[in-house]
Amino acid sequence: AQTVTQSQPEMSVQEAETVTLSCTYDTSENNYYLFWYKQPPSRQMILVIRQEAYKQQNATENRFSVNFQKAAKSFSLKISDSQLGDTAMYFCALKGATNKLIFGTGTLLAVQP
C-alpha cells in the first residue's frame, strides 16, 4: 500500500523568511510522481510543484523548490521569501502506476506580517 505522511499539522513563518514543509511517503514502485498542492482559504486546490521519481534534479517553480531524497522517501517543500498570499493548507501527494493520487493530511501554513 502507498502512504503519504505529513507530520507537521501547523507551521508559522514570518513574511520574507524561508520555511520548509516535510513529507515522507512509502511505495514499492520504482517510478512514481510526487506533488505539492496548495489550498488557500478559497478552498481551490492549486498544483504548486511536481517531481518525477526518475529525475535526479530537484524541481523548482519560482519561490517554491523541493528537496527530493528518493532513498529516504522524503519530499519536502521549501518556500523562499514567504508572502502573505502563501498562507494556505499544503498537501503532499503521491501517484504511482495506478492513476490515483494518495494525499497526506496536510500542513496549515500561516505567514505572519
Partner 1 sequence: DAGITQSPRHKVTETGTPVTLRCHQTENHRYMYWYRQDPGHGLRLIHYSYGVKDTDKGEVSDGYSVSRSKTEDFLLTLESATSSQTSVYFCAIKQGPDNEQFFGPGTRLTVL
Contact with partner 1 (CB under 8 A) among 35, 75, 77, 88: 35
Q: How many residues sit close enough to partner 1 to count as binding (CB under 8 A)?
A: 20
Q: Is 96 in the site for partner 1 (CB under 8 A)?
A: no
* Minimum distance from residue 113 beta carbon to partner 1 (Å): 26
| Residue (53 or 79) nearer to partner 1, CB | 53
Binding residue for partner 1, selected from 23, 104, 109, 111, defined by CB under 8 A: 104
Q: Which is nearer to partner 1, 4 or 111 (CB)?
A: 4
Chain positions 45 to 64 lying near partner 1, rule: CB under 8 A, are 45, 47, 50, 52
Give, in order, the Cα–Cα distances in Å from 91 to each of 3, 5, 113. 13, 10, 23
Task: Report phi then psi at 86, rounded to 5.
Answer: -80, -10
DSSP the chain: --EEE---SEEEEETTS-EEE--EEE-S-SS-EEEEEEE-TT---EEEEEEETT--SPPEETTEEEEEETTTTEEEEEE-S--GGG-EEEEEEEE-SSS-EEE---EEEEEE-
The interface with partner 1 within residues 76-95 (CB under 8 A) comprises 91, 93, 95
Which residues make up the interface to partner 1 (CB under 8 A)?
4, 33, 35, 37, 43-45, 47, 50, 52, 91, 93, 95, 99-101, 103-106
